[in-house]
Chains A and B, each alone.
Chain A
Amino acid sequence: MITTVSSIMEKDLITIESMDSVDNARQVMAQKRIGCLPVMENGRLVGIITTWDIISSHPNRLVADAMTAPPIYVKPTASLWEAKEKMDKYCIERLLVVEKGQLIGLVTKTRLYFEIAKHFDMLTQLNKKDYIIYEGVKLLRNGKEVSIIFIDIDGFGIIDKEYGHIFGDLILKEISDLLKAKVPADCFLCRYGGDEFAVLTPYKKERCIELAKELLNVISQHEYSIKVNITASAGISGGRREKSRFSGDYVDDMENLINLASLASTSAKRNKVPLVIAEGFIPSKT
């Protein structure tokens, strides 16, 4: 499951009518200590009035003449990054949430960034898996190819046990820096779990295999700050886009692809081969 806007939105909203005065809107906002009010007209959302609108308008004005319109909104099923993209695009601090034409919530920038921070790994400075799901969904929506390289570091537990977690973390940081430098700009890298990384690519299978080999090489050939030999196993899925393979629920499809690649990497490790390409496609959960 990917975190969506619906899980972080404020639901108890105070609204104002478009024919109310700016001064009245100011009073409501001051009284309730809120920074904006969604503007309604005959039960329909028509705009949003913010503190900025209030201070730059005459208090006698109608809210309709001071509000920011049309309102910028997202669906409750939108991911956190989709909401962030919209906020950044329109330079706004608050985003409305609308479902079937009805206003159902509001997300503030502070709340959104707080939530996004949970999906960012401080040690490696990499995003976690939700981010590549979001980017993967965008690729699928645009009819692009998607493939996943799932990289699992071999015997990492032994490093932690022999050298301690501080050095284990140091190695993970070095590996993530290597991967960051090697992963092309049109691909997306994330730290999936403890010693696991995933790369989303817009490539077909063959190119994805080439990239996976390059990444495994860069990991195994690097001279680490503690003298250890490190290798990794990788699993690949996707890269053979066929419409029938996808369920239409792109989040579900992305999760399936990641799962396939993860199982393939386990298989590679078990069979002591560097790379396994997943053949099947796990049917949708639903």
Chain B
Amino acid sequence: MADSSVSSKKMEITLRLSEFEMPPMQDALIIGRKAPIGFEAAKRMVDIISPNQYEVIKVQHPTIEAVVIRKALMQMVACDRLISLILEEGGKVANEATIFKVQLSIVLCVSKTVEL
């Protein structure tokens, strides 16, 4: 008697295309002390992908090893001030193993009184 059961194998392939962000980080990256990449790797990465656009700064922090920051931001706000702000806020969420992407917007508010 012939086998009545029939089997078949099919594979479904799905493609999802999206644009690769250039550069892949935004305004800053927070690199943990045990993250898959460290200061040297981050430095070489930004130097190759976005030459002269980012600065990689080693920091003294219990969980964060370095901060990658867009140079243009440092023209608006002093580097030390930016780093301490990023460490203060980033330090609350980052851990040794993570790399955090930071979006940072600076709005300058100017108000002047002029005599008519």
Q: Which A residues fall within an 8 A CB radius of B?
A: 18, 56-58, 60-62, 64-66
Asked if A18 contacts B97 (CB within 8 A), the reply is: no
Between-chain CB contacts (< 8 Å), 9 pairs:
A18-B40, A57-B34, A60-B37, A61-B35, A62-B38, A62-B41, A65-B39, A65-B40, A65-B41
Flag if A65 contacts B34 (CB, 8 Å). Answer: no
How many pairs of A and B residues are in contact by the CB < 8 Å rule? 28
A187 to B97, CA, bound (A): 52
Whether A61 lies near B41 (C-beta < 8 A) is: yes
Q: Report Cα–Cα, A64/B38, bound state, in Å.
A: 8
Q: With a CB–CB cut-off of 8 A, which chain B residues contact A62?
A: 37-38, 40-41
Query: In chain A, what residue has the closest Cβ to B31?
Result: A65
Q: Does the CB pair A58–B41 fall under 8 Å? A: no
Q: Which residues of B pack against A, CB within 8 Å? A: 34-41, 97
CB distance from A208 to the nearest CB of B (A): 50
Q: Determine chain A's interface SS by DSSP, over half rule.
A: loop
Q: Which B residues lie within 8 Å of A61 (CB)? A: 35-38, 41
Chain B residues positioned under 8 Å from A18 (CB to CB):
40
CB-defined contacts of A56 to chain B, threshold 8 Å: 34
Closest to B40 in A: A64
**Which of A18, A56, A62 gathers the greatest number of chain B CB atoms within 10 Å?**
A62
10 more A-B contacts (CB under 8 A) besides A61-B36, A61-B37? A18-B40, A58-B35, A58-B36, A58-B97, A60-B36, A62-B40, A62-B41, A64-B41, A65-B37, A65-B38
* A63, closest chain B residue (CB): B40
A103 to B36 Cα, complex, angstroms:
29
List of A residues within 8 angstroms of B41 by Cβ: 61-62, 64-65
- Min CB distance B29 to A, Å, is 14
In the complex, chain A residues whose CB is within 8 Å of the CB of B97:
58
Residue of A nearest to B36 (CB): A60
Across-interface contacts of B36 in A (CB, < 8 A): 58, 60-61
Nearest 8 A/B pairs, CB to CB = A65-B38, A64-B40, A60-B36, A58-B36, A65-B40, A62-B41, A61-B38, A62-B40
